[in-house]
Structures are given as structure tokens and as C-alpha cells.
Amino acid sequence: MERAENERLRRVARQLDQGNTSLCLENLLIMQENDRLRRKAQQLDQENKALLAELKQREQGTSASASTNLKQPK
């Protein structure tokens, strides 16, 4: 009886070990994907800031030339 119980406990321990290994692998893959997405988000944020700065610069250039044109006598 005790031998059967020990064998059952070993089987359960092996299953738990396999499940734990599987979860650890899944967690590693999730962390790698998270890192990749974080880097991509940072890249997109930098691109967004650069485009926004360019847009503001163009708007300032357009505003300056428009006000210069209004001040010139015709």
C-alpha cells in the first residue's frame, strides 16, 4: 500500500515538474515578446516626437511667411 502511494506521489511530482517547466518556458517567451514590444514602442515614440517637432517647425515657418506677406505693401 505504501509503495503504491509513493509511486503515485512520484508521478504527481513529475507532472508538477513538467507543468512548471512548461510555465517557465511560456513565461520566458512572454517576457521576450514584452521586451520586443517595449523596444518597438520606444522607437515609435521617438519617431512620433520627431514628426511632431517637424510639424511644429513647418507651422512656425508658414506662420512667419504669412505674417511677412501681410506686412509687405502692395
pLDDT digits (tens, 9 = 90+) for 1-30: 799 999 999 999 999 999 999 999 999 999
Q: Tell me the residue type at 63.
A: S
pLDDT tens sequence across 25-57: 999 999 999 999 999 999 999 999 999 999 999
pTM: 0.65
